[in-house]
A = this chain, B = another copy of it.
Amino acid sequence: MIQLNQDLKRGDQSADGRLGEQLVFRGEPGYVAGVDIGGTHLRMLLADLNGDPVARWKISLPSNGKDPKSVCALIREGLQALCRDAGAKISSVLHLTAGAPGITDAYQGVVRSAPNLTGWLDVNLGELLHQALRIDVKIENDTNLAALGEHWRGAARHTDNFVFIAMGTGIGAGIFLRGQLYHGAAWTAGEIGYLRVSGLPNEPLQLAETGQLERAIGGEGIEADWRARLRSAGHSEGELRTLRASQIFDGATEGDIEAHAVLDRVATILADALTTLTLLINPDLVVIGGGVGSHPALCESVDRLLRQTDFPHPKIYRSALDTEAQLYGAISLSLSEVARRSLQD
């Protein structure tokens, strides 16, 4: 991935004593950082110039601390913690890539809309982060980063045409065509969270609101469906178990009838969305990931549903990187940026 020049060389400064060489930048160990801004958590990863992780950091996003400035301050705190852990200087972090959960203009570093982070409309996150950190940064859509991560070190290493579906709090798709991320004309390619769900009433699309597919089978939609089914099965409010989507899917595999009905509904709606995707983009492979999407029972159910027609359908793989796909993608993008800039110098 990295093109070596005189600034960027293979050295033997590997601090952890591994046999492999570590890439160094102007004679010093260099690092890159990745950030995943989720709806509920902030995750960060520090990696050396081979792309190997050296430190991880995670924090819950307080519900009143999701505004852009607070998030930037948390990222600064995280970067300091990562460097402390790895025994690295902040100045040795050559580049940072942050993934945002919404429509993102990767060229300008502007988050156009992120409904799961209330109030994020046209936020120049690239500029804010550069001011807070004083290092080079790049901003991308989080699902696009996850696609990049799966292509680099995950389930899509052997194909240049695939779609990554992220299902967690939100739902989106990262589209990878002919070996590159495909963004579309207005950075909205892959915004499948706004797809219509068969059987639900028509409604106009609204940029600042979450979409119909996301509300139906995103984490909160699944959990609400579960509670509604228990309620209509006669359970009292006091008895209602509050489970996360992945726990409900666990229940389905263990034979719980209500949980199985929830899983069936999610798989049917997701299979419909993948059919639409196949009719338009016809990818070779679909990788399903995210906290909800990477559950084995969901991938199996969707695969089975898609095989029921004679229409060509993509291979369905589970994410190989789970919740770290976006972070790996961020590291991969930062490494490309370091290599590109090093060649330009």
Contact surface of A with B, Cβ cutoff 8 Å: 161, 173, 175, 177-178, 182-192, 194-196, 198, 202, 204-208, 272, 275-284, 308-312, 314
Contact = CB atoms under 8 A, between A and B. Distances in A.
A281 B206 contact: no
Contacts of A311: 188, 194, 205-207
Contacts of A188: 278-279, 282, 311-312
Contacts of A173: 280
A282 B187 contact: yes
A275 to B, nearest CB: 7
A279 B197 CA distance: 14
Q: Return the 10 tightest CB-CB contacts between A and B, nearest first.
A: A184-B282, A186-B312, A185-B284, A189-B282, A205-B311, A205-B309, A188-B282, A204-B309, A191-B279, A207-B310
Q: Is the interface of A mostly helix, strand, loop or mixed?
A: loop
Contacts of A190: 279-280
30 contacts: A161-B184, A175-B280, A183-B282, A184-B281, A184-B282, A185-B282, A185-B283, A185-B314, A186-B282, A187-B282, A188-B278, A189-B280, A190-B280, A191-B280, A191-B282, A192-B280, A194-B279, A195-B279, A196-B272, A196-B276, A198-B198, A202-B272, A205-B310, A205-B311, A206-B309, A206-B310, A207-B310, A208-B310, A276-B280, A277-B280
A312 B183 CA distance: 13
A185 B161 contact: yes
A278 to B, nearest CB: 7
* Copies, count: 2
A280 B184 CA distance: 9
Nearest to A277: B280
Contact of A202 (B186, B198, B208): B198
Contacts of A283: 184-185
Nearest to A310: B207
A185 B280 contact: no
Contact of A189 (B276, B281, B308): B281
A307 B195 CA distance: 17
A204 B272 CA distance: 10
